[in-house]
Structure 1
């Protein structure tokens, strides 16, 4: 995570975390409180239901017993017996639900006592009826004790039910209040989240503007550097071309000096030897051998001078043209190295500098072949096309791996620079054991782009 992202999140992230924590807190608190209130509310409704069931069972028991006493029909005992069982269960349910509420315990205790007395009175009546004790039964039935207990049960159950209803209402109000506060909390947290989102968008826009500004500055700086690189490249190219031209000029100057000065000296020496031959006694074998050796040495020196001069500045190029000069070059190379050279040379008309570039390209290629290729056959071709000249030097030598060319291989780099300085393109294809092919495409008079596009 970079510094820009941290700056962008410096305010919005804490607000988002705060909103999330508040949302979780409010949700958990509301859940727990509502769950507790709903549990209490459910318990209150259970108590109310149990009280209603209890009162119904008491009425069913009393009605069933009176019906049995009046009719002596056993079917009236079934509601009485079932109600007697349900009364105990209802009392137990009420007791469990209010055991943690002391305010209802007194009322429930009094209610239980009244129910106990009423059920005891009904059990006694049933027993006396079954025993046939009519007097005692009339006494029990016509006393006010059973009616008083029933009224007490109604009063106490109503009081307990009203207390439960009030408690249930209070729980309902608290649930409603909890829901209201939950809505307020959710709305507040939502506003905080919207505020955090707004701050995030605002900071994001600011950072985006800064980023665009930085990108614009970087683009401007990159453009400036590219322009500087182009200028430096153009300057270096111009300097390299100038040095190449200076080198050729120096070679031409040296060639002229060797041709004029050294040639004159060697020619004068050869003429002096010729004069001496006519004036000395040649019958002496030793003298004849010395004069002959001197003559041969002078001839070798003249030939060496001529070869050096031609290597420095080929006079045939200016006097005989490119095709003839290349033919002479290939023939001399074939005789000197002893390798078959096949030349396919078409006549071309090019500027002097371009012709010199092609001549040097072929000369350097043949020199490299003679040093490294160990070739038995070489093919040199020059083809003239409407917009360009194609030059190719091919051998069947050992070849080399193009990826292994060292950075300090100035021979190949020099050839490439010479060709590219004329607007051409140099291609080198080689593989170990498959020989080497050097191809150059040099424009004649059309634009460089058009010429290169034609050969693509």
Structure 2
């Protein structure tokens, strides 16, 4: 749960950082366009100021030529007057084209058109009346234009426009400075927020790492505990299996002894009584003698059946002749019954009596599996000591099976493995299709039988 909460908080921090980055990008883009617009306006205003100053200079040049002409009546001053007028008219036309959308600029420039046109007419009239009587009248008109109030108003308007443009340029510079200051503050804020978000993310990551490490340690502790509990449970199951197997073998031994001592004695006594009665009758009662012979045969069969049951419960040869002889008899009888060729390589070993019966049962189970599934023609049974262990193996040349797939006799193999492990040993099974099978047991040596 803590990991989930920490993960959500880390995701929230990253999301906030992304939102802040997007907001700053939008703000930066808007600031860029505002600054670009302000720079364009400032460039236009600066151009207007330059053109206005140029217009003032040209007008002053034209006015100076006009005044010099009026004072000296020399034609060479008319040339300067005409050049000043031409330059002023071109500047006015350029300003009107550039600032046709600015009514304040147009309100200053339009009256100038009439003033310049009147002077151009006067200049043309003077040039046309050169050496004629009308020249004086043209000069008088030019003098009236030089002394008129509209010219003074024009000068004042141009000076006011220069002051206005200077103010506009100042305002635009202040606006650009404000935009840059806001962008700077935004950049600093974004950097600070990004650093804060990074620190929070690193803190959450470190905390999450510690929590994951704690979770791993807790999980490992739980696994170790479960492993210990599983080991204890396995040990208890092994001990329980060993106890059950021992109890079953003890019960079989007890049943075998009871059958041998009590049932065997009763059947033998009945057989002897029947034989005694038959000998006393002689040939006096042929039918009775026949019945007694049948009874004796039935008792003999019962005694043989009882012996077989006793041998199945616990082989008497194991106690009387030992493990090697018992295994040889078991393998020989199996080979004779199934028509197989048996190979025995058995050596006396040091095993406890309880372990000997386990080895006998495991080999008996292995032989039973061979008879059911192997379709073998030969079997090999070996037993001997190998580097501190008792090594017992059963091998056949049958059809074998895939060891990666659970065979049909899986429960038989499981029972064999549990029997061997209960005695502190190991059981391995090796088999391949068409190459037979090998069952091998390793058992510890019984130190009390050395």
For the criterion TM > 0.5, the same-fold answer is yes
1:332/1:62 CA distance change after superposition, 3 Å: same
1:404-423 matched pairs, under 5 angstroms: 405=406, 409-423=410-424
Query: Which region of structure 1 is more displaced relative to structure 2, 280-289 or 424-433?
Result: 280-289
How many angstroms does 1:147 deviate by?
4.9
1:237/1:81 CA distance change after superposition, 3 Å: same
How many angstroms does 1:3 deviate by?
3.3
Q: Is the Cα contact below 8 Å between 1:252 and 1:313 reproduced in 2?
A: yes
How many angstroms does 1:244 deviate by?
0.9
Query: Which region of structure 1 is more displaced relative to structure 2, 18-27 or 390-399?
Result: 18-27
TM-score (norm 1): 0.78
- What residue number does 1:394 align with? 395
TM-score (norm 2): 0.79
Distance 2:82 2:108 in 1: 30
Distance 2:271 2:246 in 1: 36
Distance 1:303 1:114 in 2: 156
Deviations 1:298-351 (A, max 9, x none): 444333333322222122223322222111110111222332222222332222
Query: Which region of structure 1 is more displaced relative to structure 2, 32-41 or 236-245?
Result: 32-41
Distance 2:303 2:410 in 1: 34
1:289/1:160 CA distance change after superposition, 3 Å: same
Matched, 1:92 2:86: no
Q: Is the Cα contact below 8 Å between 2:396 and 2:437 reproduced in 1?
A: yes
Query: Which region of structure 1 is more displaced relative to structure 2, 428-437 or 347-356?
Result: 428-437
| Equivalent residues, number | 437
1:5-404 matched pairs, under 5 angstroms: 5=6, 7-9=8-10, 12=13, 15-16=16-17, 19-20=20-21, 22-54=23-55, 70=76, 83=87, 86-87=90-91, 89-96=93-100, 99-102=101-104, 104-125=105-126, 128=128, 136=134, 140=138, 143-144=142-143, 147=146, 156-203=157-204, 211-276=212-277, 278-281=279-282, 294-402=295-403
Distance 2:108 2:82 in 1: 30
Q: Is the Cα contact below 8 Å between 2:383 and 2:393 reproduced in 1?
A: yes
Gaps of 5+ in 2: none
1:30/1:168 CA distance change after superposition, 3 Å: same
Q: Is the Cα contact below 8 Å between 2:365 and 2:412 reproduced in 1?
A: yes
Query: Which region of structure 1 is more displaced relative to structure 2, 428-437 or 352-361?
Result: 428-437
SS at match of 1:392: strand
Distance 1:35 1:172 in 2: 12
How many angstroms does 1:113 deviate by?
3.4
Q: Is the Cα contact below 8 Å between 2:51 and 2:91 reproduced in 1?
A: no
- What residue number does 1:440 align with? 441
